[in-house]
Amino acid sequence: MRKIELEIVALSHSITQTHSYAVVLGEVNGLRRLPIVIGGFEAQAIAVALEKMQPSRPLTHDLMKNFMSAFNVDLTEIIINDLQEGIFYSKLVCVGENDTVEIDSRTSDALALAVRFGCPIYTYENILDSAGILMEDTSGKKKKQVGDTEKAEPSAHSDLHALTLDELNILLNEVLEQEDYIRAIAIRDEINSRKNQ
């Protein structure tokens, strides 16, 4: 399978759920985004590394990096390699003096380490197809679904099951503009569940 390179494009706090964050990965040279819900500690670990902050004592992921460096192990890439029941699975590709080892990891931990090591992040086409969100194209025009004619009001529709597929697509575009990635994940999942029926 061909690997698709991703980069971290946003770290968003959930307005609706306390202690819930989304890290948004963007396809390098592409329009697709992959939002992943993570916990507060992991979001903090990613944010600290992205902002190049130096805590007074090493955080867990800093300790892991220091440990790996002390034993001449380099993290060369992470791969988000599976998606099961809404949970992303990842592996760390580590290179030592004599061999390469793939280690199972939570995706949030893998991303926190990838930022610290400056290594690339990859996934596969099937994961982007099932969990990705297509953003607007470079000309500024949104890709519209056939039949998208009326505008859905996000505040008027708290129950996604009551919306039509067209209304869900419109609502998805609106919440993406507001960068509410947690709500976008719920809407995307509702759209995908209807397509699979």
Residues 93-130 pLDDT 10s: 999 988 999 999 999 999 999 999 999 999 999 999 98
**Per-domain residue ranges for the chain?**
3-131, 139-195
Nearest C-alpha neighbor of 46 from the set 13, 91, 78, 8:
8
Retrieve residue 26's tokens. Answer: 């963007």
Q: Which pLDDT does position 154 carry in this prediction?
A: 39
Segment 143-178, tens digit of pLDDT: 333 223 333 333 333 578 888 888 888 888 887 777
Q: What is the pLDDT of residue 96?
A: 92
Would the pLDDT of 74 be above 70?
Answer: yes
What whole-number percentage of the chain has pLDDT above 90? Answer: 44
| Mean pLDDT of the chain, nearest integer | 82
Strand blocks (E) in the chain: 3-13, 20-27, 32-39, 74-84, 87-95, 100-106, 121-124, 133-134
Contact 102, 92 (CB under 8 A): yes
Looking at domain 3-131, what is its CATH homologous superfamily? Answer: Bifunctional nuclease domain (3.10.690.10)
Determine the straight-line distance between the first and last CA of the chain, rounded to whole angstroms: 27
